[in-house]
Amino acid sequence: MSKTVFRFPENFLFGTATSAPQIEGAAYEDGRGASIWDKFAQRPGAIKDGTTPAVTCDFYHRYKEDIALASELGIRSFRFSFSWSRILPEGRGQVNQRGLDFYRRMLDELDRYGIVPNATLYHWDLPQALEDQGGWLNRDTVKWYGEYASLLFREFGDRIPMWATVNEPIATYVGYGEGIFVPGHSSEPMGRQADHHILLAHGEGVRRFREENIKDSQIGIVVDIWHHHPLRPDYPEDVKLAELNNEKTYRSFLNPIFKGAYTEPFLRWMEENHCMPQMQPEDMARISSPIDFFGLNCYNRVVDCADEKLLEAWKSESRSESCDRVDNADGAIGGNFQDDGREFYPRAVYDTVHILKEEYDVHLPIYITENGTPGTDEQISGDGCVHDRARIEYIEGFLRWIAKAMEEGADIRGYYVWSLMDNWEWNAGFTSRYGLTYVDFDTQKRTVKDSGRWYQDLIRRRTLELSDDMETVDDAEVEDGKGSR
C-alpha cells in the first residue's frame, strides 16, 4: 500500500471547541441568572452521576491558565459559547455588565496569544426565566434571542471573526421531543415546534448580524450530520428506515437553511404523525437567509436495519478493536445521543462533506467545528500521563478523511477537536471525558493527555500520511461489517 503526504495549508485553523455550560461554572456568581441546565440537573435521575453545571471546569476563574494551555498546544482558534443568562439574567431586559466584562477579558486573553475566537451565541443553555415563559415553544423566544444576538454583535462584533447563531439545533428536539435533554418533554409536536422556532432564531440571528454591518466578520450555523445508512442497501425496509431517519434529523435543518423549505417527505411525515409545527408564511425566507460559512459537527454515522437482531449482530461484529469506543448502551450518553459508540467510521466526515456539496449545493467555507471521542475510564497512570491511544487514532482517522476531501477540492478551512479539556457532558455529567486535557474535577488540576501532545505535534508539522486504500471503501461494504478503519 503506497502512501502520500498531505500538508494542511498555512492558514488552516486547528482549534478546540468548548461551550459555556460545559466549562464555565460560576453558575451563581457575578449576577448570572440560571440556565435551563442548572435547573434540569437538579431533577433526580436527570444526570447520570447526579452532578450539575455549577462548577464544571471553573473556566470562569481559570480562563487565563486554560487559554495559556491552549496556546502551549499550538491551538490557532478557540471555539466557545456565550452564556445567555450570564449576560441577560432574565433572558431579556436588564443587562449584566459583569457578564459582558468576563467575555471581554477572555477575548483580551485570546488576543494576547493571537488565538482566533470562534463564538456560538446559543449552545443549548436557554435562560430559565425564558423557559418559564414557554421556552422554545413560545414564538417570542425568537424575538428575545434576536435582542440578545444584537447586544453581543454590538459589544463584540468585529473582535470575533466567526459567529455561529446556534449549535446543533437538534438538541432542542431532544429536549422537547424525546425528553432526555432539558426541558424533558417527550412530545413529537412539541419537539417539532421547538425545532421550527430554533431555526427561526437562527434566521433572526443572521438578520440581526447583517443589520449591524460588522466588517470582516462572518455569520454561520453549526449543524451535526449523522448520516443514516441502510445495513442492507438492497432491502427496501432498511433503505426506508435510513431515509426517514435522515429526514427527521439533519435534513429537517439543512433543507430549510439551504433550500427554504422542509422536504415533501418530511412534511408528509409530520402531517401523518400530527406534529406539524405552526409556521408563518415568511418564516422560510428568514430561515434561509444566506450565511457566510457552515460549521459541521461530525462524530460518526448511524447504520439502520429493520431487523433488530441482525443489527445487533452486525454491531458486535463491527465493534472496532483498534479504537476502543465507549459503549453507550445505557442511554445516558450526553451530547452524542445518536451514537451507540460501537463503530469507528472516520469516513463519515468525508461523506458528510459530499452531502453538503451534492445535496445542498453548498459552496461556502466549511469548518469542522466539532469532532472527538469520549473515554469513560480514563485516568492518570503511574507515570503521570494519560495514555489515550484510542483518541489519537480516532482524531487521526477523521483528519485523514478531511485531508482527502480537501485534496479533492473541498473548501475546509478549519478543524476543532471536541474538546480542549474534559468537561460536563450534559446528561452524562462527568462520566464521559472528551478532553485533550484531563481534568481532576476535585482539584481542578489539568494534565495534558497523550492526544493533546499528539495534536500539538500535528499542528506543528501540519502533515498527515494518507494511504491509497482510502478510495476503496464504499457503502456496499457496510453489509460485510467492513467500515474503514
Span near ligand GCO by CB under 6 A; candidates 36-44, 287-295, 333-341, 450-458: 333-341
416 binds ligand GCO (CB under 6 A): no
Q: How many residues bind ligand GCO (CB under 6 A)?
A: 13
DSSP run (H or E) holding 199: helix 188-212
Helix (H/G/I), strand (E/B), else coil: 213:
coil
Nearer to ligand GCO, 164 or 478 (CB): 164
Chain positions 198 to 257 lying near ligand GCO, rule: CB under 6 A, are 224
CA distance 198 to 206: 13
Pick one of 144, 156, 176, 418: the residue that binds ligand GCO (CB under 6 A).
418
Nearer to ligand GCO, 402 or 478 (CB): 402
Radius of gyration of the chain (CA): 21
Binding mask 425-464 for ligand GCO (x = CB under 6 A): x--------x------------------------------
| Phi, psi at 80, each rounded to 5° | -145, 170
Write down the least CB distance from residue 369 to ligand GCO, Å: 8
Cell of 235: 432491502
Active-site residue (options: 370, 378, 425, 479)? 370
- 168 annotated active-site: yes
CA distance 257 to 173: 17
CA atoms within 13 A on the CB side of 430: 18
Pick one of 169, 175, 177, 334: the residue that binds ligand GCO (CB under 6 A).
334
Write down the least CB distance from residue 128 to ligand GCO, Å: 19
CA distance 261 to 278: 14
Nearer to ligand GCO, 135 or 374 (CB): 374
Chain positions 253 to 312 lying near ligand GCO, rule: CB under 6 A, are 297
Active-site residue (options: 168, 247, 343, 393)? 168
- Cβ atoms of 230 and 238 closer than 8 Å: yes
Write down the least CB distance from residue 171 to ligand GCO, Å: 7
Sign of the torsion angle spanned by Cα atoms 258, 354, 251, 415: negative
Strands 3-7 and 463-467: antiparallel
Pick one of 109, 125, 131, 168: the residue that binds ligand GCO (CB under 6 A).
168
Chain positions 355 to 374 lying near ligand GCO, rule: CB under 6 A, are 370
Q: Which amino acid is at 100?
A: L
Cell of 32: 448570572
Q: Per residue, what are the HEC states of 63-110?
A: HHHHHHHHHHCCCCEEEEECCHHHHCCCCCCCCCHHHHHHHHHHHHHH
Span near ligand GCO by CB under 6 A; candidates 106-114, 231-239, 328-336, 407-415: 328-336
Give me the active site residues, please.
168, 370
Positions touching ligand GCO (CB under 6 A) are 19, 22, 167-168, 224, 297, 334-336, 370, 418, 425, 434
